[in-house]
Amino acid sequence: LARAGSYIEYVYSLKGNDYMLGYNINFVNMDSILTVGAPVDLHWWMRFPSQELHIKKERETGSIYYMTGADKDDNMTPTKEKDSTDEAALKWVALKQQFFTSALINNNDVFTGTHLVQENYGMNENIKTSYDSKYVKYNRVKLTLPAPGEKKSYSLKYYFGPNHYGTMSDYDIGLEKMIPMGWSVFSYINKLLVAPVFSLFKNTGMSFGWVILILTLIIKILLLPIGWMTYKSSAKMKVLKPEIDAITEKYGKDGDQVKKQQETMALYRRAGVSPFSGCLPLVFQMFVLIALFAFFPAAIELRQKGFWWSDDLSTYDSIKDFSFNVPGYGDHVSLFAILMFASTLAFTFYQQKMFPNQQAGMPGMKFMMYFMPFIFLSFMNSYSAGLSWYYFVANVINILQNLLLRKLISDTKLRAEVDAAMKKPAKAKSGWAQRLEQAAKERQKQIKR
């Protein structure tokens, strides 16, 4: 039993403009209570209240995260309930919500064992509780601290703050790894471009709808050299229309389509153009879109930031709610998603009209170009309004950029360049072209069989 004057002292220290809270545990005159060399268990329980517009999204993103002694971060699957005991040493454990995190960090040592429990509210149709409508999760953590030693104390600290990449990374303990920045190469787009741009404008008072527009302009300026080369290559394909029409007439509908494709590709090769050039900007745009797809719903800069009819750019906007769910679409109508959809169709139509020969030899490409906007609409209707706004602005810029380039590039000069290229000695086929031709021949053999 504890004698008089024995107690546990909790010392909290807070610095100005800091999300870290110092947390020291001191055992005063507890020698008769503490077993020499025995560890101490610390229990931490937290029930998360809903703080956002859509509780479903909160439940899909909140989880228990932790950093091992080997500097490897991991987390529990947000949508699954789990009861886990682990003897691995941990540097910190965090209870992460969609936009905020509570983390407990061991300053000078590691937690030598953990027992983590994650319970999800409102995600199991067979289990109903009074917490389902107001709470997101119920997380329980038991952390084992090594024996207190001669000082009879522990030096810990809490992080109570936003899931902001710059803020978390400044502490240099890996907290920023909880923020979904995208996989591999996509994460660098967010870390090196998107997050810095957001941080630059966050205290200016400017609506983040306009910040996203500025971000889109920056991305388009960086990709302008690729856009110029791609447009020029596509324009060269357009001036080759007489030759393409001649090949089409030569083989007709019932002719050898493999030979037709080979002859078309040979023409492009002699003229120095690539039929895949129009896909290049789309590939880079998809890279950026995938990166933003991960980051925008988790970007605290967009949290509850309104723009026009949207109340929160981090989640979907709704101009009409249904009392039922439309399969593959949702229970509402997002106007930003519709703008994205319409502008994508408009840009696709413009590309097809301006460069009708761009998908020559690729019969399925035209269908895919018109089909993809419908797939995007299905996803984006229930996704971040900020992302739909970005894609809409990007499409409008693409159309305006191509109209400008159309004025700057002369078809007569392009025709002269193509004629000059075709007069040069034919270059040897690249290894890739040879493999493509061989694959076409194999397909033709299979068809004949």
Residues 204-257 have pLDDT tens digits of 888 889 999 999 999 888 888 777 777 777 777 777 777 776 777 777 666 666
Q: Please check whether residues 108 and 220 belong to one and the same domain.
A: no
Backbone phi, psi, residue 243, to 5°: -65, -40
Q: Please check whether residues 289 and 172 belong to one and the same domain.
A: no
Q: Which residues are registered as beta bridge partners of 321?
A: 332
CA-nearest of 403, 355, 349 to 373 is: 349
pLDDT tens digits, one per residue of 61-90: 888 888 887 677 777 777 777 777 776 788
Q: Please check whether residues 169 and 216 belong to one and the same domain.
A: no
Name the more confident of 203 and 337: 337
Where residue 393 falls among pLDDT bands split at 50, 70, 90?
A: very high
Q: Are 96 and 64 in contact (CB under 8 A)?
A: yes
The yes-or-no verdict on residue 406 having pLDDT over 80 is no
| Pair type for strands 330-333 and 320-326 | antiparallel
Mean pLDDT, all residues of the chain? 78
pLDDT of residue 9: 86
Q: Please check whether residues 218 and 306 belong to one and the same domain.
A: yes
pLDDT tens digits, one per residue of 319-377: 888 888 888 787 888 899 999 999 988 888 877 776 655 554 455 566 677 778 888 88
Q: Please check whether residues 420 and 352 belong to one and the same domain.
A: yes
Residue 411 in domain? yes
Q: Please check whether residues 249 and 367 belong to one and the same domain.
A: yes
Q: How far apart (Å, rounded) are the C-alpha atoms in residues 289 and 302?
A: 17
Q: Please check whether residues 173 and 310 belong to one and the same domain.
A: no
Q: Please check whether residues 167 and 264 belong to one and the same domain.
A: no
Q: What's the domain range around 229?
A: 208-448
At residue 64, the 3 state secondary structure works out as strand
Single out the residue in 179, 200, 235 at which a domain terminates.
Answer: 179
List Cα–Cα distances, 439 to 127, 299, 435, 443, 448, in angstroms. 56, 45, 6, 6, 14
How many other CB atoms sit within 10 Å of the CB of residue 390? Answer: 25
Q: Please check whether residues 253 and 173 belong to one and the same domain.
A: no
Q: Average pLDDT for residues 8-28, to the nearest whole number?
A: 88
Number of domains in the chain: 2
Show the tokens assigned to 209: 């709808």
Which letter does DSSP use for residue 315 in this model? S
Residue 251 in domain? yes
Q: Please check whether residues 116 and 250 belong to one and the same domain.
A: no
Residue 276 in domain? yes
Which letter does DSSP use for residue 307 in this model? B
Burial 179-204 (b: 16+ CB within 10 A, else e): bbbbeeebbebbbebbbebbeebbee
Residue 10 in domain? no
pLDDT tens digits, one per residue of 304-320: 888 898 888 888 888 88
Q: How far apart (Å, rounded) are the C-alpha atoms in residues 94 and 81?
A: 16
Where residue 185 falls among pLDDT bands split at 50, 70, 90?
A: confident
Show the tokens assigned to 325: 């769910």
Element holding 346 (H helix, E strand): helix 335-354
435: Cβ–Cβ under 8 A, 6 or more apart, which residues? Answer: none
Backbone phi, psi, residue 310, to 5°: -90, 135
Q: Please check whether residues 37 and 107 belong to one and the same domain.
A: yes
Show the tokens assigned to 350: 């413009």
Single out the residue in 163, 179, 195 at which a domain terminates.
Answer: 179
Residue 86 in domain? yes
Q: Please check whether residues 258 and 172 belong to one and the same domain.
A: no
